[in-house]
Amino acid sequence: MNVGISGKDGAYLTKLLLNKGYKEWETSQDHKASSFQNLEKLKIKHEVGSNSMVASDFRSAISKHQKASLTEIYNLAGQTSARISLTYPIETFESILIGAINPLFGIRDL
């Protein structure tokens, strides 16, 4: 599972993993509303499964782990807007910290 797949680095990581024979699943808080234009530019969007997951919600994170039978997780998710991160520093910090901790605890519990 690749969290943060819609960004530039996430898209390139996904392409690398697909080339190595991995089956890739992307997660996004709202995967239906996301354009995933970076995956489209690399012509790999059709090769990637998608799920909606809110990494800061423990139940959401663990349910995705259970459904996907994961062997590896790459977390590249995070606030990318400097303006938003400076305007809402606590929310930015919490989303990054909790978004990283929940999948780790989900793995541990499984």
Give residue 18's pLDDT: 92
Give residue 66's pLDDT: 67
Give residue 110's pLDDT: 73
Give residue 86's pLDDT: 93
Long-range contacts of 31-39 (CB under 8 A, 24+ apart): 34/6, 35/6, 36/5, 36/6, 36/11, 37/6, 38/6, 38/7, 38/8, 38/10, 38/11, 39/5, 39/6, 39/11, 39/14
Q: To which CATH superfamily is domain 2-109 assigned? A: NAD(P)-binding Rossmann-like Domain (3.40.50.720)
The model's pLDDT over 72-87, given as tens digits with 9 standing for 90+, comes to 878 887 777 889 889 9
The model's pLDDT over 22-36, given as tens digits with 9 standing for 90+, comes to 887 766 655 555 678
Question: What tokens appear for 73 in the block?
Answer: 């997780």
Report how far residue 79's alpha carbon sits from residue 94's, in angstroms, rounded to the nearest whole number.
Answer: 10
In the numeric block, the tokens 């790999």 are attached to 44
The model's pLDDT over 26-71, given as tens digits with 9 standing for 90+, comes to 666 555 556 788 889 999 988 887 766 666 676 766 676 666 667 7
Report how far residue 25's alpha carbon sits from residue 14's, in angstroms, rounded to the nearest whole number.
Answer: 9
